[in-house]
Amino acid sequence: MLSGPSTVFGLNPLATETVPSHPLGTLGISPDGRKFRYALNNSSAAAVAGELQQGRVEDTGEQSILMAVAAIGATQVTTADTVTVTANQYANGYIVSTAEGGTGNGYMYRIKSHPAVTAAVLTVELYNPIVVAFSASTQVDFVPSLYDGVTQYLASPTSAPAGVAVAAIPASSYGWLQTGGVGIVKADAGGAIAVGQGVVASNATAGCVEDVASTTQPVIGTAITGIAQAEFGLAFLILD
């Protein structure tokens, strides 16, 4: 059974920490209605305040994985294929039944925990029970949480936008990304953004945004102020 979302009110969105105080993806709402998501920064570089962040690079190594038979109601499932993962590498992420041919396709289940294995089958604990039984032909993709190991949004993105850093989150630390409401963004060096104009992720400068005339990039929000090129300004964010 699905439970209500984990939501934090009265948060300090500028706070960072090395020990998590919330589950990844927890929704935070400020008194003025701004929305934030709790995230773990990557282990290589600090997040820069005002820059757009993305999920970690897609790992295709745990995709199209054959599963062992699992009955309706099971909260533990086991792979039939062997995999190599660290402990809880996909915790708070998902298994997604993807391929034609098996049963249970079109469903996704949130991962609670799993052990480390090396070239072995993997048993995964799920938050919610299986709705449609897995057959011996069922295949799944393992997908991490969008908020686990976020990095600067790339000009050639390797994941979806996760939110805008509102503070300098140190490497391997936890903090808040803004996803909704009035927030700060940085225009790329390609041109100014006019007030009232739609804002999209930049395909020219990592971590930045540009005007909506660039229609192939994800839409982030609408400019509340005019934003000079390579400078910061306000937009109404609509990622959440």
Task: Beginning with the edge strand found earlier in the chain, give each strand of the sheet holding 108-113 in spatial order.
Answer: 65-66, 139-143, 94-97, 108-113, 123-126, 76-78
Confidence of residue 214 (pLDDT cuts 50, 70, 90): low
Instruction: Give me the mean pLDDT over the 153-181 stretch.
Output: 96
Confidence of residue 2 (pLDDT cuts 50, 70, 90): very low
Percent of the chain surpassing pLDDT 90: 86
Q: Look at residue 1 in the predicted model and tell me its pLDDT.
A: 41
Instruction: Give me the mean pLDDT over the 54-70 stretch.
Output: 92
Q: Look at residue 5 in the predicted model and tell me its pLDDT.
A: 52
Q: Facing residues of 174 across strands?
A: 17, 40
Q: Look at residue 59 in the predicted model and tell me its pLDDT.
A: 82
Q: Look at residue 103 in the predicted model and tell me its pLDDT.
A: 86
Distance CA 128, CA 240 (A): 24
**Of the candidates 125, 104, 102, the residue with the CA atom closest to the CA atom of residue 115:** 125
Q: Are 47 and 163 in contact (CB under 8 A)?
A: no
- How many alpha carbons lie under 13 Å from residue 231 in its C-beta half-sphere? 12
Instruction: Give me the mean pLDDT over the 212-224 stretch.
Output: 86
Q: Look at residue 144 in the predicted model and tell me its pLDDT.
A: 96
Instruction: Give me the mean pLDDT over the 37-60 stretch.
Output: 95
Instruction: Give me the mean pLDDT over the 48-59 stretch.
Output: 94
Domain architecture of the chain: domains with CATH: 7-56+148-238 (no CATH), 60-143 (2.40.30)
State residue 61 phi and psi, 5-degree precision: -70, -25
Average pLDDT score over the chain:
93
pLDDT above 90: residue 118: yes
Instruction: Give me the mean pLDDT over the 110-126 stretch.
Output: 98
pTM of this structure:
0.90
Per-residue model confidence as pLDDT tens digits over 122-133:
999 999 999 999
